[in-house]
Structure 1
Amino acid sequence: MTTRHLSRPTVALAALTVAAVTSTLLGANASASGPAAATDVRIHDIQGDTRISPLVGRQVSDVSGVVTGVRPYGSRGFWFQDPRGDGDPATSEGVFVFTGSTPAVRPGDSVRVSGRVGEYYYGGTGSGNQSVTQISGADVTVVSSGLPLPAPEVLDEDAVPERYAPRGDAADGGIEELRLRPGRYALDRYESLEGMNVRVDDVRVVGATSPYHDLWVSIEPEQNPTARGGTRYGGYDEQNSGRLKVTSLTPVSERPFPTADTGDRLSAGEGPLDYDQYGGYLLAARELGRVTDGGLLREETRPQRRHELAVASYNVENLDPGDPQATFDRLAEGVVRNLATPDILALEEIQDDSGPTDDGTVTADATLRRLTDAIVAAGGPRYAWRGIAPQDKEDGGQPGGNIRNVFLFNPHRVSFVDRGEGDATTATGVFKRRGKAALTHSPGRIDPLDAAWEDSRKPLAGEFRFRGRPVIVVANHFASKGGDQSLHSRFQPPTRSSEVQRLRQAEVVNSFVKDVLAVQRKAKVVVLGDINDFEFSPTTEALTDGGVLSSAVYALAAEDRYTYVYQGNAQVLDQTLVSPGIRRYDYDIVHTNAEFADQSSDHDPQVIRFRP
């Protein structure tokens, strides 16, 4: 990027009106009517009234505007905005200039920009993400400095429609060529403001500060609220249009990014409206207000009663012996205090003894020993464990980690029925033993050679006895959502390609439960874990097909149905399902992680208590 500064006095901020700014910027082009020549182009001509610039691929010259934000890291560049709009709500008056290096401009600079118009797709065109209109190869002239910035567009509950996105055209579902209707759809409204100066005031945080220095707010205070201040994703047509990511244009080395939990309040934020692949439209804050603590506390579930069996599930996020002792201690504290030491604990994402090192190791005894030792140190029982080591590099997850499902159980409260010699490739079956359903291999895997489990964790089945009564528990970690198009995709409705594998996995588990109930109609079966899908999804429908299972999440009020927060949406990914033989139960999602910046895991654990 070439930047030139004209030798003229800096314009005093207090003495310049917006009208004067407009005159200064447009100069001889003030009376131009449209992009008849390259020198007549204004920013709204570049943006156009669709998602793709009508000038894409073309050179433009001397496009005028005021700098509203500078990004000195990542995709380096700056935004500038024409303070005199064209009156069309579908055409943005701001645009990003990609420089590749730290720009030599500042907010308030009056600039003229020449360069090539393009559309940049974060994640590549195959990702399904929308594009960002930008000018690259820029030649920038600073005309003057110290100008007032264009007044921000205030984003509040009246500014963005409830309806999230238009339906794509019949050919491929794409919405890029559709004329923007910012008064009808949220995605169109955000797109019509792409690159413009926007502002939020006194908004609630619905997604905690992440390790990447961003957080999520909602500009819709009453949109699908959770009981604890978040925004719940309760259906494919409930995308929650008020969600907005907030980042900062100031490097954290110069100003720490605020730490916020769900339910906190952000007093204000102002800067250009941007877009990226990790959440869609976002406020790139030039100015960021204070966070007010909402007082959110980590939940603690009640202890199980003497005659209740407590079965819990917890995704411990790639736990391995190389993790700091503090990680094990915090997870242990969560098991003892927040989960009240359940009798059976199904763990997901237990890694092998060498963690992500790809050295052929598949055993996980060291990982489990450190965790169970930490639980004892936290005041809990000495848990025993059962699991089956996977074949090397066959179960997906972090490369080299060989994650798997594992059972912990308190031998003072429950016993494990060891039967057969289950291994990574041997399927467990069901037979009748003294009139009850029993497993041929316990622990055992459910149909591990079925194509449904390719590069994915295999379900672990175990036969337990509580006060002499048998209970079959199946721990699951279904295929991830990787590869799905995002809610903010340029294809609407977005394609959920990963759902195909989870649907088949659900069918396999459902068939196994049907085999159990064919042997014993009133058998007590608990299927739980990280299902990686919603309670309203086809995956859950397949799991519950034929009435052999029901999802316990529906025992909770709608505002409490979530185990994970993704891009500001509180949603169900972890589930507990029970067979009809378990008629009465007490189910709890224990909110200890997903809503907090300081997490032991990115998932909330869940627990169910019942009398077998």
Structure 2
Amino acid sequence: MHAKSRVPAILVAAGVLVGSIAALPLPSVAAAPGTVVISQVYGGGGNSGAPFSNDYVELFNRSGAPVSLDGWSVQYTSAGGTGNFAANKTNLSGTLAPGQYHLVQLAAGSTPSGALPQPDSVGSINMSGTAGKVALVRSADGLACNGSSAPCSDAQLELLADLVGYGGANFFEGSPAPALTNTTGAFRKTSGCADTDDNGADFETAHPAPRNSSNAAAPCGGDPSPTATPTVTPTPTPTVTPTESCDTPPTHQISQVQGRGETSPVEGQNVRIEGIVTGSFQGSGRLGGFYLQALRPDADPATSEGLFVYSSTPVKTGDRLLVSGKTIEYNGLTEISPATAVNVCGTGAIKPTEVKLPLKNGVSFERYESMLVTFDTDLAVSEIYNLARYGEINLAEGSRLWQPTDRKGVNTDKDARRTILLDDGSNAQNPPTLPHHTKGSNTVRIGDKVEDLTGVLTYGFGVYRIQPTEPVVFTAENSRPARPAKVGGDVQVAGLNTLNWFTTLGSRGATTAAERDRQLAKLVANITTLNPAVAGLMEVERNNDVALNALVDALNAKSGAGTYKAITHPNPGTDLIQTALIYQPGKVTPIGPARSSSDPIFNRPPLVQAFGKADGTGKTFTVLVNHFKSKGCTDIDGPASGDDADQGDGQSCYNAKRVKQAKAAMALIDNLQLKNTLVLGDINAYGEEDPIHAFEDAGLTSLSKKYIKKDDRYSYVFDGLSGELDHVLADKGARKLVTGATIWHVNADEGRFMDYNTEYNPPYLYAPDPFRSSDHDPLLVGLKL
């Protein structure tokens, strides 16, 4: 298809001609056929009855010449929505030979089924299984249009190499392709060669059958490329390729194929190599091949002795093979793909290479790529965010990783050299059971450890990882604490983030009544075990105290009528969530009205309440509950800019705003003449960041820094790094009342798969207990009044 000739056809199909004339009949428009086109579309991946776990788009070169996809992208938007193509984009690279297919793997659904063939590109676009719009764009920039409510300009249309609107799409070529189902995909007719610039005429539905670059090329008849003067290439004289066997010698050593750098010096060339299988990951849902390692290493420590071979030819660990195929770089991994010959020629054994962490300066894992390795040190779990989703665990030598802005002495360079990701040897998503767990437990907690981890070191999705070849046994170095540590005193005060406790379904919290009940059960278990006289809450739905009162009712159903009461916020703000306070009237009594701040720096204003003991004896104290601006780089006013933009200092966006909020909170203490004040809440700042320093410079004391051991001082884990986002700080008067403080690690060390959600979470892991009742750990402080 020639881009310019497609413009009027697309404009008419979208009902947006120059001059704003709409709803005209569709005329017959002649358009030159395209070179690279979309040859298959499937959006039902991972849905009920789907044959594959992932959506995909297949591309095809219908021309007679190679076409580079570098700088191109696949983009998607819904059939009739207002979103733009730019919101769903997957970049492409590589060169497509004449008649060659290119498979783009996209998002997975919630029901695992079959794995796609080895994809040539990978993205995260989540397409509709019935109707949508897919664009092949000769640019890596997202198109800020959708062809309907946001018409595409001439310049944007010029970038379209192909467009497929299917089902009820309102943007298409000629007429839309048929609607799809979970078991049907849209196929461009004649194996991808048909292109009349009419989706309805060019596409038919059939059972999904994705093809990738390993499939045999299927050149179209003639030369459909839109060149002014066709180039005729003489047909070479056919040659007969002899059958390869164990007598066919290798052409290269594995180390020669790997080379000293990140890419192979023989990329794109056909090679024949010899080695021992160190790990076979073949079969449905696995990696689609095996790892091969040289019998005898070369003398250069910078060259790897292993390779991944993409092949379905059955092999087993210990087989000695001679393998032929093309060398490629697939998402950063050097591999043979596809293998054109796999000859089993005996057996052998490879001793794992010992790898010491942290790696030495200037050394990377590249020298061990695709080799069998073992780590001769304890590795601690640093993050389990994707354990249930992709089977991944972040590990670090010795101990967990810390946020560098949470404490002094964090060596980020060394931390990068002491980490490795543990995978599960599979491409399956959302498996029914966790692929890894700690001995004696059905899950893994951050801080647990593994010894002598052995597997093949490989690379994928931007990170080096271990595919284990032996059972992985974690030991519980961070056992679940059944109760918080004792903090003393005659009154205890807690601060906890409720992870969006909403009674309104489908908003920020639960999406179903069952999820809401599961969430409430966990929150009740958390609070009743903490048993605080006063609890400051964050992320409670702002809905006239409906959510707050529902929580109090559930607490009283568990603890006895009247055990808890709520404080009504006098100024809950403009956000969907608010700060809140609950208390036990049998232990404390509110003194005076609840107060707040009218400073516009807060869209979640703080809540202030003074308390005294219920029996009227002892001193009084004040609680000031906060929830500062998050580290995300968008706000109600738009993207962060100026001082609020990310300054590259590790404090992320809106640090300046959080500092202003800290100063406004201190001004509130002065203006209201508050006494014996505890400033608590989700400050969204780690321990050595500017907002905490602003509090400390104003005379407040961090109780976690004062009372909690350094290795226990954390409440949140993000991107594999632990730190304290949640704080309790005391003024001079309150400091004299404090008897102790603790952080109860029931949430941050637990996987998200343990929470109340039913999507993706294996049902057997849920329990109505405190663990993973939120993503933040609660804090508890003792006061002697």
**TM-score clears 0.5:** yes
Once residues 366 and 149 of structure 1 are traced to their aligned partners in structure 2, the CA distance between those partners, rounded to angstroms, is 66
8 Å contact kept, 1:2–1:140 = no
1:558 Cα deviation (Å)? Answer: 1.6
Out of 513, 517, 533, the residue aligned to residue 343 of structure 1 is 533
1:304 Cα deviation (Å)? Answer: 6.9
How has the CA–CA distance of structure 1 residues 566 and 520 changed in structure 2, closer, same or farther, with 3 Å as cutoff? closer
Identity %: 20
Work out which structure has the larger RCO, using CA pairs closer than 8 Å and 6 or more positions apart in sequence. Answer: 1
- Is 1:134 aligned to residue 334 of structure 2? yes
How has the CA–CA distance of structure 1 residues 462 and 295 changed in structure 2, closer, same or farther, with 3 Å as cutoff? closer
- Is 1:285 aligned to residue 285 of structure 2? no
Once residues 80 and 134 of structure 1 are traced to their aligned partners in structure 2, the CA distance between those partners, rounded to angstroms, is 12
How has the CA–CA distance of structure 1 residues 148 and 482 changed in structure 2, closer, same or farther, with 3 Å as cutoff? farther
Which SS does the other structure have where 2:688 is aligned?
coil
| 2:178 corresponding residue in structure 1 | none
| 2:608 corresponding residue in structure 1 | 462
Q: For 1:407-440, what per-residue CA distance to the aligned partner results, in whole angstroms no more than 9, with x for missing partners?
A: 3333441427546xxxxxxxxxxxxxxxxxxxxx
Once residues 647 and 259 of structure 2 are traced to their aligned partners in structure 1, the CA distance between those partners, rounded to angstroms, is 27
Once residues 287 and 81 of structure 1 are traced to their aligned partners in structure 2, the CA distance between those partners, rounded to angstroms, is 17
Out of 271, 281, 285, the residue aligned to residue 61 of structure 1 is 271
Q: For 1:113-146, what per-residue CA distance to the aligned partner results, in whole angstroms no more than 9, with x for missing partners?
A: 53353362xxxxxxxxxxx333475344212176
Residue pairs, 1:55-134, within 5 angstroms: 55=265, 58-67=268-277, 68-70=279-281, 73=285, 78-96=290-308, 106-109=316-319, 110-115=321-326, 117-118=328-329, 120=331, 132-134=332-334
Residue pairs, 1:168-567, within 5 angstroms: 183-184=360-361, 188-200=363-375, 203=378, 205-207=380-382, 210-212=387-389, 213-220=391-398, 223=399, 235-237=409-411, 240=415, 241-249=417-425, 252=431, 256-258=435-437, 259-262=443-446, 264-266=448-450, 269-275=453-459, 280-293=463-476, 296-301=479-484, 307-308=490-491, 310-321=492-503, 322=512, 323-337=515-529, 339=530, 341-350=531-540, 352=541, 363=543, 365-379=545-559, 381-387=563-569, 391=574, 395=575, 402-412=576-586, 413-415=588-590, 417-418=592-593, 442-444=595-597, 446-448=599-601, 458-467=604-613, 469=620, 471-480=622-631, 496=648, 499-516=651-668, 518-519=670-671, 523-544=675-696, 546-555=697-706, 556-566=708-718
Q: For 1:179-231, what per-residue CA distance to the aligned partner results, in whole angstroms no more than 9, with x for missing partners?
A: xxx5335xx343332322222468454347543334344443xx5799xxxxx
Return the letter of the residue paired with 1:82.
A
8 Å contact kept, 1:481–1:498 = no
How has the CA–CA distance of structure 1 residues 305 and 217 changed in structure 2, closer, same or farther, with 3 Å as cutoff? closer
Which SS does the other structure have where 1:536 is aligned?
coil
Once residues 558 and 148 of structure 1 are traced to their aligned partners in structure 2, the CA distance between those partners, rounded to angstroms, is 49
Which SS does the other structure have where 1:510 is aligned?
helix
Once residues 328 and 574 of structure 1 are traced to their aligned partners in structure 2, the CA distance between those partners, rounded to angstroms, is 21
How has the CA–CA distance of structure 1 residues 529 and 513 changed in structure 2, closer, same or farther, with 3 Å as cutoff? closer
Once residues 103 and 460 of structure 1 are traced to their aligned partners in structure 2, the CA distance between those partners, rounded to angstroms, is 64
Q: For 1:542-571, what per-residue CA distance to the aligned partner results, in whole angstroms no more than 9, with x for missing partners?
A: 443x33433222112222212234565443
Q: For 1:507-559, what per-residue CA distance to the aligned partner results, in whole angstroms no more than 9, with x for missing partners?
A: 11222134235447774333332334421234433443x33433222112222
| 2:5 corresponding residue in structure 1 | none
8 Å contact kept, 2:264–2:334 = no
8 Å contact kept, 2:424–2:435 = no
8 Å contact kept, 2:748–2:775 = yes
Once residues 83 and 114 of structure 1 are traced to their aligned partners in structure 2, the CA distance between those partners, rounded to angstroms, is 19
Once residues 522 and 236 of structure 1 are traced to their aligned partners in structure 2, the CA distance between those partners, rounded to angstroms, is 37
Q: Given the two structures, how large is their TM-score scaled by the length of structure 1?
A: 0.65
Gap runs ≥5 in structure 2:
1-213, 217-240, 438-442, 504-511, 614-618, 635-645, 755-771
How has the CA–CA distance of structure 1 residues 324 and 151 changed in structure 2, closer, same or farther, with 3 Å as cutoff? farther
Q: For 1:62-102, what per-residue CA distance to the aligned partner results, in whole angstroms no more than 9, with x for missing partners?
A: 35444434265487554433343333333323344568xx7
8 Å contact kept, 2:485–2:742 = no
Q: For 1:152-174, what per-residue CA distance to the aligned partner results, in whole angstroms no more than 9, with x for missing partners?
A: 2234xxx123xxxxxxxxxxxxx
1:45 Cα deviation (Å)? Answer: 4.1
1:589 Cα deviation (Å)? Answer: 0.9
How has the CA–CA distance of structure 1 residues 28 and 305 changed in structure 2, closer, same or farther, with 3 Å as cutoff? closer
8 Å contact kept, 1:304–1:342 = no
8 Å contact kept, 1:219–1:242 = yes
Bigger Rg, which one: 2
8 Å contact kept, 2:250–2:322 = no
Once residues 498 and 477 of structure 1 are traced to their aligned partners in structure 2, the CA distance between those partners, rounded to angstroms, is 17
Once residues 25 and 566 of structure 1 are traced to their aligned partners in structure 2, the CA distance between those partners, rounded to angstroms, is 54
Once residues 61 and 382 of structure 1 are traced to their aligned partners in structure 2, the CA distance between those partners, rounded to angstroms, is 73
How has the CA–CA distance of structure 1 residues 608 and 286 changed in structure 2, closer, same or farther, with 3 Å as cutoff? same
Once residues 234 and 76 of structure 1 are traced to their aligned partners in structure 2, the CA distance between those partners, rounded to angstroms, is 45
8 Å contact kept, 1:272–1:283 = yes
Once residues 529 and 205 of structure 1 are traced to their aligned partners in structure 2, the CA distance between those partners, rounded to angstroms, is 29
8 Å contact kept, 1:80–1:96 = yes
| 2:748 corresponding residue in structure 1 | 594
8 Å contact kept, 2:436–2:472 = no
Once residues 104 and 290 of structure 1 are traced to their aligned partners in structure 2, the CA distance between those partners, rounded to angstroms, is 28
1:255 Cα deviation (Å)? Answer: 8.6
How has the CA–CA distance of structure 1 residues 602 and 84 changed in structure 2, closer, same or farther, with 3 Å as cutoff? farther
1:329 Cα deviation (Å)? Answer: 2.0
Which range is displaced more, 599-608 or 521-530? 521-530
Q: Given the two structures, how large is their TM-score scaled by the length of structure 2?
A: 0.52
Once residues 247 and 380 of structure 2 are traced to their aligned partners in structure 1, the CA distance between those partners, rounded to angstroms, is 38
Return the letter of the residue paired with 1:383.
K
Return the letter of the residue paired with 2:748.
A
How has the CA–CA distance of structure 1 residues 365 and 73 changed in structure 2, closer, same or farther, with 3 Å as cutoff? farther
1:234 Cα deviation (Å)? Answer: 5.8
- Aligned positions, number: 477
| 2:783 corresponding residue in structure 1 | 610
